[in-house]
Structure 1
Amino acid sequence: MANNQNTDDKSRKPWWLFGILIIAISMASSAAVYYLLAPNTSAHADESQQEAPEPEPIVAPTPIFVSITPFTVNVQSDYYEQRLLYIGLSLKVGDEETAALIEENMPQVRSRLLMLLSAQYAEELTRPEGKEALANKILALFDEPFGDPQPPLAIDDVLYTDFIVQ
């Protein structure tokens, strides 16, 4: 009976070696996968720095405004004899050249505005739609040049700073 135990021990040894070999291979493959897929390894950190540099912060340009001093204008009315409009404006312009040109021609700008505003009806100006339509008409005033050789004006918006209909 002693011979049977020796043969059983010899036949079991290769299976243990095979099991240890499988465990070692699975540990090595797990380590390789972790190294290749881990985002914090030095190789991956160098690649990510080369691929995506830090974006520069976006800086919005400083808006340029041209203020038109407030003035009072008689406006039309269907129901009353006399109605007044007190209005102050600022123009948002796209460049310094446009701002300088408007400032140089301010008397002509104010004259055009007075003519446009005096033709408006008070009842229309009290509604938001009337104010929007007036802003569009004011923008259209600047389509006509102030002088003969004039560069195109870059006027982006008309802003009301004062607006009273009485």
Structure 2
Amino acid sequence: MSKTPPARGNGKAGWLLVILLVLIAAGGSAASVYFLMDKGAHGAASTEATAEPVAAPIFVPVAPFTVNLRGEQREERLLYVGLSLQVTDKASEEFLKQYMPQLRSRLLKLFAAQTAAELMTPGGKDQLSAKILEMLQQPMATPQPTLRVTDVLYTDFIVQ
């Protein structure tokens, strides 16, 4: 009796089919990643092109000055302070520059009414900023444009 091996399918054809399917899947994945990344780049570019440019901040510097503070029990205290006011428009900037002597006078009076103990805490500085913003709501001239001051930024602040 002669033994013949059992009939098998062609093994090479099966492997070729598997390799061909893997290559097609890899090619499809690569193509989809390429198109998605390309679409994302164009989408981001179009978003950047349509977004409005952020306006540069406008700061009005107030030169530093020294103020005598109210002291407890007759002690002499000084405040050395410099600040900048952040505004949102050129009209507010120009007005504040034009009326700087009046602004400095009002600030001097406001600072002189403070105590050293109040100003040495972070909360005290925040309260002072709020008082400055409130003070800027009082008109300095007639007519006066609406002052759009958004922040008080301390550039120098020493209590001695």
TM-score, normalisation: structure 1: 0.71
Any idea what SS the aligned residue of 1:89 has?
A: strand
Who is 1:109 aligned against? 103
Q: What are the Cα deviations for residues 29-60 of structure 1, in whole angstroms up to 9, with x where unaligned?
A: 1221121112xx4x753553234325459986
- Structure 1 position 30 matched with structure 2 position 19: no
Shift of 1:140: 1.4
Listed as ranges, the matches of 1:130-145 within 5 Å are 130-145=124-139
Residues 24 and 162 (structure 1), Cα distance of their counterparts in 2 relative to 1, 3 Å cut: closer
Q: What are the Cα deviations for residues 101-150 of structure 1, in whole angstroms up to 9, with x where unaligned?
A: 11011122112212212221233223333222212211211122333443
Identical counterparts, % of pairs = 39
Shift of 1:152: 2.9
User: C-alpha root-mean-square deviation of aligned residues, in Å?
Assistant: 3.1
Select the structure of larger CA radius of gyration. 1
- 1:23 and 1:88 map into 2 onto residues whose CA distance is 80
Q: What are the Cα deviations for residues 52-85 of structure 1, in whole angstroms up to 9, with x where unaligned?
A: 3254599865432211122333322231165433
5+ residue gaps, structure 2, are: none
Any idea what SS the aligned residue of 1:147 has?
A: coil
Any idea what SS the aligned residue of 2:157 has?
A: strand
Who is 1:85 aligned against? 79
5+ residue gaps, structure 1, are: none
